[in-house]
Amino acid sequence: MPGVVERGSGAQCFIVKRALSPSGLVLVDKPAGPSSFAIVAGVRRRTGARTGHAGTLDPFATGLLLLLSGAATKLASYFVGLDKRYVTDVDLSARTSTGDPEGEVIERLEPPDEQELAQKLEALRGEIELPIPAASAVKIGGERAYRLHRRGVEVEMPVRRSRVNALDVIAYRDGVARLDLRVSSGTYVRAIAEALGGHCATLRRTEVGPFTVEEADPERIVPPDEALARIGLAPEGGPGAAG
């Protein structure tokens, strides 16, 4: 049964209880445009089950989303901290107000040559600290930063420490660097693009931990025990009981 609806005596009193099955992990290749929450809602409507995510992507970005369905939603904490891999096109000829193609151009720049780019990339490998982008979902004084940003409220964004395990150039031409990144969870690729002096023109998440975008299939639900085993957790270790 997709869900149970309980109605009270008042017209405004109703509670929708989402089903605890099907339970498991859903791998989705998100297209550009819709928000991650819209993708979650679409899966929830299709299955009728409680559905959550283990990390979002910006609307302009594409690639792998890990969604948790049914009883497996309580396993989210085991998946949110997994390392990520991205491919991004960084336009080094302009900075935008959001660090991505959705913002306004605020500065035009002369792109660096290959040697300069290599030096900038070297400084961004390993343990780094960068300001969180202003157009992000982090809360500042109890309000989402992107909402303050949209209203033109300037705030000093906090710095986040993260780890860049790999940062390699796939191609560099016409001021656009295509980069392959392996980073710790919580790393803002837009912040890396801004540190390089440009903005993310495209962004695609190709891996989350051991899961790859090539595996994505919104119709398939990976059983909880199998999903936990993929990240090195034994089903009998407690969390597997969610299945």
Tell me whether residue 58 is one of the annotated catalytic residues: yes
User: Rg of the chain over CA atoms, in angstroms?
Assistant: 20
Catalytic residue (choose from 58, 89, 91, 225): 58
Provide the β-strand partners of residue 222: 25
Integer CA distances (angstroms), 57 to 3, 40, 199, 204, 226, in order: 28, 12, 16, 9, 24
* Contact of 8 with 208, CB cutoff 8 Å: no
Which residues, 6 or more positions from 241, have their beta carbon under 8 angstroms from its beta carbon?
Answer: none
Residues forming the active site: 58
